[in-house]
Amino acid sequence: MKKTVFIFSMFALASCNSSTSTKEAGRASANTAGLADSASHQFIPDRRNFETTIDGKKTGLYVLKNHNGMQAAFTNYGGRLVSLIVPDQNGKKTNVVVGFKSVSDYQNSTEPYFGATIGRFGNRIAKGKFTLGDKEYHLSVNNGANTLHGGKKGFQDVVWDAVQLNDSTIRFIYLSKDMEEGFPGNLNAIVTYSFTADNGLKCEYEATTDKPTVVNLTNHAFFNLNGEGSGTILNHTLQIYADKYTPIDTGWIPLGPIADVKGTPFDFTTPTTVGSRINDNNEQIKNGKGYDHNFVLNGTKVNDLNHAATIIGDKSGIVMNIYTEEPGLQFYSGNFMFGRNTFSDGSKDEFRTAFAMETQHFPDSPNEPSYPPTGLNPGEVYKTYSVYDFSTVK
């Protein structure tokens, strides 16, 4: 858990009252309306489909761009990445993030996490409970006997205050109140998404609390580097910079000790297609219904960040490199996509037609002392960032 000295100006921003932030969000929405309307590309949804009121707060669509032709659409419902447009190896604009064309589609989806900012605690907490100091906390349980991604109403289901800082930067702010979903402390969360000059999407996470708590924020974008609606992701080539991973039980809870990937279907230390071993007769593959495991990053550095993974679309030639300050990466191979939802392009979310790569601290860390800690105390700052960097094969 990376902690730094907190600056007052950021605290003031995080603590701004709902009405002020809503006005700022409204101005930001108005400022981006022209950009969204004038976007010639088909992958930017109609902003009017994102204008509604949920829990008394207005939602909208926000469009980012950089000078290299990248664009992204976000909504403050769940702090979601709706679409992400990058050029493929032939210069063709490609939407590499699957998503929906309206807020109501996100609300009604059988998969609640498409593109969402995840919190207060990404991944699972066993049996929905943990102990801080001498007090045991009981969380809302929403994944069998466990708590997944913050509980029944995690950060994916709330309306964040939104401030578009410039053409390439959007900031989402949310106050998670004391004992929301069972988590202690009023948590001020600030998440900033921005384009870098060299075609990276930077995800910055900050949080403070007034009581001891646990925090593990991430983003749950579902990717297909060949483009939304292009079919299976099993022929993508993947390299994960991890020599170890955390084995799980049948409830996706880590068994405790980490294990070597060598000699297992989890060895992506050299480039390997996603589907080459996904159906192996392996207990961990069976437990996860495919890949749905945390990889322990081995510390390979690029610009002082952990190089987490490199993924290449087999049809598009699009390369995504993931860099992070986090110690872990959850690789999810779309095992629970069953064609029940319709994406923006009209295609269905068929089995393994998208994948997720969530930078994170390890699942169930509050209950496993040997894992990197996820505790946050008053006066400290949770602060971490990750970058999803895009290029094409040479």
Q: Which residues are catalytic?
A: 220, 358
- 8 A C-beta contact, residue 192 and residue 170: yes
Whole-number CA gyration radius for the chain: 20
Backbone angles phi, psi at 127, to 5 degrees: 60, 15
DSSP H helical ranges for the chain:
8-14, 18-38, 103-108, 283-288
| Residue of 225, 249, 348, 239 whose CA lies nearest to 295 | 239
The C-alpha angle with vertex 112 and arms to 107 and 114, in degrees rounded to 5, equals: 100
Q: Give the list of residues 6+ apart from residue 378 with CB closer than 8 angstroms, or none.
A: 185, 208, 209, 210, 211, 212
In the DSSP assignment, the letter for residue 104 is H
CB proximity list for 192: less than 8 A, separation 6 or greater: 165, 169, 170, 171, 172, 202, 203, 204, 206
Other Cβ atoms within 10 Å of 390 Cβ, number: 21
Q: Which spans in 89-248 are helix H?
A: 103-108
List Cα–Cα distances, 312 to 10, 118, 321, 335, 357, in angstroms: 37, 25, 9, 20, 13
Dist CA 158 CA 287 (whole Å):
31
Distance CA 248, CA 185 (A): 29
Distances (CA, A) of 375 to 71, 130, 136, 177: 35, 11, 14, 17
Nearest Cα neighbor of 45 from 56, 35, 31 is 35
